[in-house]
Chains A and B, each alone.
Chain A
Amino acid sequence: MNPDDPGLEQVLAERGEGVRVVADLAQRAIARDRSNRRRELGAAALAAGLVLAVAVPVAWSAVRPTGERPLPVGPSESTTAPTGRPSTPTGTPSTAPTPTAIPTLSADGAPVPTVRLATGEPTATTNVPYLADGVIHDGTQQIALTGKLTGGSLSRLAGGRWLVAQGETGVHYVVSRAGATVVRLDGETSTVNADGSVFVIESRGSLTAYDAAGKRLRRLASTTCDCTPDGVSDAESPGYDAVGIVGAVVYANRGYTGRAVAWDVAAGTRRDVSGSLALVDAARFTALVAPDPNVPHRETCHELRDLASGRTLWRLCGPLLFRSFSADGAYLLATGHIDGLDESQLNPDGTSRYGGLVVIRTSDASIVLEGGIDDPGGVGSPVSYRMGDDERITVQVGSTTGDRDLQRCTLDGACEVVDVGRPRWNPDIPEGDDPYFLSAN
């Protein structure tokens, strides 16, 4: 074959000619972006380099750090690091630190008890409130939302109110105890403190804090973030990303700088916090710190840090994506279903080391339970979960019918059905929305 021969061009042209788009591609792409965002769970996942790496032009790569793939997880080891104040990329500790070994553990896939998902009719209850088909289920109480509000996220607010997002529309509503929408707030994501007395809405990198009635308390503009990468205009600054609230103090990451801020909504003060925060636990005043997105790392390790002293309690390395603390801070919930993992982080047959639900005890970083099949879109797969202070996990499960049901599982892996299987919205596409929304607090 001669490269000048038109044969190759003709073959490619005729093969391309036969391809036609037969669905609303733009809407499907938007749905997939929404689904990907849920999977990535914010900057922590990006920082850990656990999403599919894509090449981006210089300007874009300046805004988000280049994805770095984690390397093989080695044997357990201890690393020496200073105690007292945590090390910071920009500051110097005011006192000479005393070297102390940080317990470092590996999530190496060693067998642990597995979750045994249930089938059948509901036989259990849950103390985690949830929203399904426009009705909030709070213990034995059911609150029907008025209007066409069906849900997108749910949080409990003080005074019997609720904060409900409508789908991914960027609209949140404060809902009365009777289910009526009383305040509308625009913004992409919401974060609520444990007792529901304060919440923040993030919109284009700026944070606005509200009380439980939806009354605005204070605003932290993205322009104060000091997180605009070189070569990018302030208008494109990623701004703040709220991670959690302890009392009236909002913990937020500052773009992709690997630094965070503690913003006291009551006092209006701010102080720097080192590290890129993945999760904040108000019950035990700790935070899970993600790897610095700007520092090359051999493997993906998260650290549990005491927020008061800055001391690192342990480091856990391995293919886990952390999603929430239990209400009492005694456990962390994570998933082992992660896009774009290096081969070394997978089982030899290419499957994930861990299932869709992994429970880690925070006192010693040990994995106490895991499970869910290795197929994020498949059946028998835990897709969202919350854990109260009763050592029980409420799990939304992809059932054998393709619907989602709600189950409650104990730490020994036994599960019971809490609520019936319901279809996803847009069930024909992989990104169809889940029907159950578990309360974030």
Chain B
Amino acid sequence: MDDAERRADFTAYVRAREQSLARLAYLLSGDRDAAEDLLQNALAKVYRHWDRVSGAELPDAYVRRLMVNENNSRWRNLLRRHESPSSHVLEVLDPPGAPGLDQTASIDLWQHVQSLPRQQRAAVVLRYYEDLTEAQTAEVLGCSVGTVKSHTSRAISALRTRMSEATA
């Protein structure tokens, strides 16, 4: 694959998957600026390894794992490259509100999700948004299924407690 083909192949992959990856980046980071930086850094690394990533059976699994690890890096905030006002990659609209879901409770729950430790938040997002199995989530997080169970259980417990406190 020459450089032009490689670039075209990568571009086609990103265009097919960008909305999904952007949403994952936002849910993992909880912030537009952080999601933009996370997404571009992760995809830059995907591009560098594209010859191998494109040949993988499940390239999405690799990309997800890369994004989770990028997001877990302690230095992301310090090293983040900020977009100028005219250069944003993502647009984030306020949610319209899901039918049957109290809007205030929805906002509270979202805020509590963002306050979870990063690994717990990643486990929740992968399990409840990406709809991955525990085994798939373990693969992405680079941990055991038992650890996934533990992260998820603690996260749900914390969310339950905080939501109870909010409504008490």
**Chain A residues near B (Cβ < 8 Å):** 1-3, 7-23, 25-30, 32-33, 35-37, 52-57, 59-60, 63, 169-170, 236, 339-341, 343, 346, 350, 377, 428-431
Chain B residues closer than 8 Å to A36, beta-carbon distance: 41, 44-45, 48
On whether the beta carbons of A7 and B105 are closer than 8 Å, the reply is yes
On whether the beta carbons of A430 and B124 are closer than 8 Å, the reply is no
CB < 8 Å neighbour of A29 from B40, B51, B84, B109: B40
On whether the beta carbons of B81 and A25 are closer than 8 Å, the reply is no
Provide 13 A-B residue pairs closer than 8 Å at the C-beta atoms, listed in order of the A residue. Answer: A9-B128, A9-B129, A11-B109, A12-B124, A14-B98, A19-B26, A25-B15, A28-B43, A35-B44, A54-B45, A56-B49, A60-B49, A170-B3
Chain B contact residues, majority secondary structure: helix
Once bound together, how far apart are the Cα atoms of A433 and B101, in whole Å? 47
Chain B residues closer than 8 Å to A428, beta-carbon distance: 84, 86-87
Once bound together, how far apart are the Cα atoms of A23 and B36, in whole Å? 11
On whether the beta carbons of B113 and A16 are closer than 8 Å, the reply is no
CB distance from A108 to the nearest CB of B (A): 20
On whether the beta carbons of A22 and B88 are closer than 8 Å, the reply is yes
List B residues 83-106 near A (Cβ within 8 Å): 83-84, 86-98, 101, 105-106
Among residues of A, the one whose C-beta sits closest to the C-beta of B156 is: A3
Chain B residues closer than 8 Å to A55, beta-carbon distance: 65-66, 69, 142
Chain A residues closer than 8 Å to B160, beta-carbon distance: 1-2
On whether the beta carbons of A33 and B48 are closer than 8 Å, the reply is yes
On whether the beta carbons of B26 and A54 are closer than 8 Å, the reply is no
CB distance from A210 to the nearest CB of B (A): 21
On whether the beta carbons of B52 and A236 are closer than 8 Å, the reply is yes
Once bound together, how far apart are the Cα atoms of A37 and B70, in whole Å? 17
On whether the beta carbons of A25 and B14 are closer than 8 Å, the reply is yes
Given contacts A13-B129, A20-B22, A52-B70, A28 and B89 within 8 Å (CB-CB): yes
Once bound together, how far apart are the Cα atoms of A46 and B47, in whole Å? 17
Among residues of B, the one whose C-beta sits closest to the C-beta of A235 is: B51
On whether the beta carbons of B90 and A13 are closer than 8 Å, the reply is no
On whether the beta carbons of B93 and A18 are closer than 8 Å, the reply is yes
Once bound together, how far apart are the Cα atoms of A292 and B7, in whole Å? 32
Chain B residues closer than 8 Å to A18, beta-carbon distance: 92-95
Q: Is B135 positioned at the interface, with any CB of A under 8 Å from its CB?
A: no
CB distance from B158 to the nearest CB of A (A): 10
Once bound together, how far apart are the Cα atoms of A32 and B45, in whole Å? 9
Given contacts A16-B129, A30-B47, A54-B45, A430 and B66 within 8 Å (CB-CB): no
Given contacts A1-B160, A27-B11, A170-B3, A12 and B125 within 8 Å (CB-CB): yes
Given contacts A1-B159, A8-B159, A53-B73, A16 and B90 within 8 Å (CB-CB): no
Chain A residues closer than 8 Å to B23, beta-carbon distance: 16-17, 19
On whether the beta carbons of B156 and A30 are closer than 8 Å, the reply is no
On whether the beta carbons of A26 and B11 are closer than 8 Å, the reply is yes
